[in-house]
Structure 1
Amino acid sequence: MENKEKYYYKDQVGINRKLKNSLNLQEIIEDRKGFVCYNSGGSSGTLRCDENSVSGAVSQRACVYCGARVVLNPITDAFHLIHGPIGCASYTWDLRGSLSSSSELFRNSFSTDLSETDVIFGGEKKLRAALDEIYDKFQPKVVFIYATCIVGVIGDDVDAVCCDAEKKYPNMRVIPVKSPGFSGNKATGYRAACDAILKLIGNKKSDKKIKGLNYLGDFNLAGEAWVIQSYLKEMGIQVIAKITGDSKCEELLKAPGASLNIVQCAGSMEYLAKKMQELYGIPYIRISFLGIEDTENSLLQIAHILGDEVVLEKAERFIEKEKRKVKDKINLYKKRLKGKKAAIYVGGGYKAISLIKQFKSLGIETVMVGTQTGKPRDYEIIKQITNPGTVILDDANPSELEKFMLEKGADILVGGVKERPLAYKLGVAFCDHNHERKHILSGFVGALNFAQEIDLTANSPVWNYV
């Protein structure tokens, strides 16, 4: 038995080496070469980004409709109606691990279930009937209607249906979300969702500003928005509206009264922050609560902008107290993780930047980093904070991720649910930093949870048998 195990191990090593060599010989698709680069140790050269996916490249991005859905879905007391085939509704059912403090209406997935007959004769009649049924059974304050690919093709006048429904039911807002999947990329869906939020809030400026902030781009995964809200409360700073994690329609209507917008997920919400600055005169800053360093810097920045000396002192005391709680435990994990190599593939560039810093604080080198919706300035920062030779890529596909993870010898991949099977197939540890996770990764407690999870997966004994 011992000999058989040795022979098997030897054969498996040979198979892995052959797999690695064959992948390294693969060429990047010609049209994709501008989206991939090796860090040359400076900021020279521009990485192509913020563009539509290359046809046939099997992008890891989601479609426009999905982008809109992930932003709007955490509005807990809104009714989310998908005007399209049932598959679109099932694809995005309960797609974020967002938690609610009250209504659970958002957890349901409702669809007009368009069929072949509706494609031929139009789906407006079905949509109007669905809105009548919604009002009779639920009487929601707001209904978001998502126009999917089929609706974009057959040309249903969703705007007219929404307008007629609001006249028929004056107490119910009915807001169209222009999100046919083929009309752009995931970032296009983010903008469609932000436009829908602005339509809900309206164009009216607040006469009186409240000394508080709106928290944009946190979707309350595992209750993270509550953690950050509690931090700000200890500092004496009020959160006016959470957009959109655990948000309610009434709460969103108060957003124009805030004195500051803080943006956690810049990829999905910076567009909204810019629009709110134009419409309501609310300045905004990009922040991150991922990792101890960024959490500390973000809290101090908010205290400087909104607070006085008392608030700043409270913030400094609170930060020191929270850092002391987690310091020793994180240092223990750092000893176990030092020398490991990480690959990152996440949604936004700002999140990737935070993760690179967080890995560095654990003694882990980032050897590959990519995003779905990163902007040129994000990639410039990534080049500055990663080592020469680090692979940087925008809107990657599975073939590219496999090639570079093997080439750079990554020990762990941080990504979303679509990347999980890829990592395990290659015998690489995986950390879910996306929608489906059930544990907090933001703030000081999140930094400890992250270190613990990376240690559990990267140092798991299972890798001795793969």
Structure 2
Amino acid sequence: MALYKYYPIPSDRMGSLWTLLPIKDAYILEFGTSGTTRFELNSFARMQGEQNSKIFTTHLDETDIALGEMTRLDKAIDEIIKAHNPSVLFVMPSTLSATMGSDIAMNCRKYQKKYSNTQIIPIKNDGFQGNWTMGIRDTLDTLVKTLPIDVKKTENLTFNIIGSCADDFNYLSDIYEIKRILKECFNAKPICIMTSDTDISDIKSMGASHINIVLRNEGINAAKTLENRFGTPYVFGKPYGL
């Protein structure tokens, strides 16, 4: 094994999980081994991340990998939906299942027909697409493309915050201060703080807000998606300085 001076750069898969783990009422299924999922949860805990979602793994073994077997994924989707009846289930690959050539999106489409009461959403980031920022960008974009529903704008001033994630230093303190300032100055209330302090219903209601506040580059695509669909303008910038 080679000797490295620095820690390896987190992959896009890790960025996707960092984005999904704080969402309340979210269910996540990783098509991989229990070890890779455990490693990810440990790294998220060291970042002081708040895990509010429920995460499951298919416990792939060497036989599944060698034969390209998808049975464990099928059984896991059935078991999770029958036992928990989640409103949303995110299904994502691991680096191991990606080397098998597994088609996660196809499986999600197949099971969506079977379970119409559960929205089954594939996550494409498998660890080979880029670094963690790409995973955050893609997952934020997936969330706003698949979950928000058509709603009317609120009568009072409301806002969404996009890009509050555990990899940012002091992200929880930043959110607290932004909410305080907007409340005291404009009597504005948040609808969705994506994704450090939100749940599935908040994300579905994002179209009701009057403005989106984007805290990082990775959230701009999501903000543009919301602007095109709901006509919600956005501002971009960190909450620092005068």
Query: Which TM-score tier does this pair reach, normalised by the shorter chain?
Result: 0.7 to 0.9
Does the CA contact (< 8 Å) of 2:214 and 2:234 recur in 1?
A: yes
Task: State whether structure 2 residue 54 is matched by structure 1 residue 82.
Answer: no
Q: CA deviation at 1:121?
A: 2.4
Q: Deviations over 1:64-120 (max 9, x none)?
A: 100111112111210121111223201211615344xxxx752x5421121111112
Deviation at 1:173, TM superposition (A): 1.1
1:24-64 C-alpha deviation (Å, 9 max, x unpaired) = xxxxxxxxxxxxxxxxxxxxxxxxxxxxxxxx996752001
Counterpart of 1:217 in structure 2 is 163
Matched letter for residue 192 of structure 1:
D
1:209 CA displacement: 5.7
The code of the aligned residue for 1:242 comes to: I
2:28 and 2:237 map into 1 onto residues whose CA distance is 29
Match of 2:191 among 205, 217, 240: 240
Q: 1:258 to 1:78 in 2, by over 3 A?
A: same
Unpaired segments ≥5 residues, structure 1: 1-55, 298-466
- Distance between the aligned counterparts of 2:48 and 2:85, measured in 1? 25
- Structure number with greater CO (CA < 8 Å, separation at least 6) is 2
TM-score (normalised: structure 2): 0.83
CA contact (8 A) 2:163 2:218 kept: yes
Distance in 1 of aligned mates of 2:7 and 2:230? 37
Show the counterpart of 1:280: 230
Instruction: Report runs of 4+ in structure 1 exceeding 4 Å deviation.
Output: 56-60, 204-207, 220-223
Letter in 2 for 1:186: W
Q: Which of the two has higher C-alpha Rg?
A: 1
Deviations 1:195-238 (A, max 9, x none): 32024325x65454653110112247785334533443233011
Per the alignment, residue 144 of structure 1 pairs with 90
Structure 2 unaligned residues grouped into runs of 5+? none
Query: Counterparts in 2 of 1:353-432, with a 5 A limit?
Result: none
Q: 1:130 pairs with 63, 76, 99, which one?
A: 76
Structure 1 residues 205, 141: closer, same or farther in 2, change over 3 A? Answer: closer
Q: What SS does the aligned partner of 2:210 have?
A: strand
Q: Which amino acid aligns with 1:255?
A: M
1:314-365: CA deviation from partner (whole Å, max 9, x where unpaired)? xxxxxxxxxxxxxxxxxxxxxxxxxxxxxxxxxxxxxxxxxxxxxxxxxxxx
CA distance in 1, matches of 2:135, 2:164: 17
Question: What is the DSSP-based 3-state SS (H/G/I as helix, E as strand, rest coil) of the residue aligned with 1:217?
Answer: strand
Identity %: 26
- Equivalent in the alignment of 2:56: 110
Aligned residue in 1 for 2:14: 66
SS of 2:59's partner is coil
RMSD: 2.6
Distance in 2 between residues matched to 1:120 and 1:60, nearest whole Å: 27
Counterpart amino acid of residue 260 in structure 1: I
Contact 1:187 1:268 in 2 (8 A): yes
- In 2, distance between residues paired with 1:59 and 1:194? 26
Q: TM-score, normalised by structure 1?
A: 0.45
1:114 and 1:123 in contact (8 A); partners too: no
Do the aligned partners of 2:32 and 2:94 also contact (CA within 8 Å) in 1?
Answer: yes
Structure 2 counterpart SS, 1:171? coil
State the distance in 1 between where 2:35 and 2:219 align.
27
Matched residues in 1 for 2:238 and 2:137: separation? 21
Q: Does 1:262 align with 2:213?
A: yes
Contact 1:63 1:181 in 2 (8 A): yes
Q: Which aligned pairs between 1:155-166 and structure 2 lie closer than 5 A?
A: 155-166=101-112
Letter in 1 for 2:21: N
Higher helix proportion (structure 1 or 2): 1
CA distance in 2, matches of 1:230, 1:169: 41
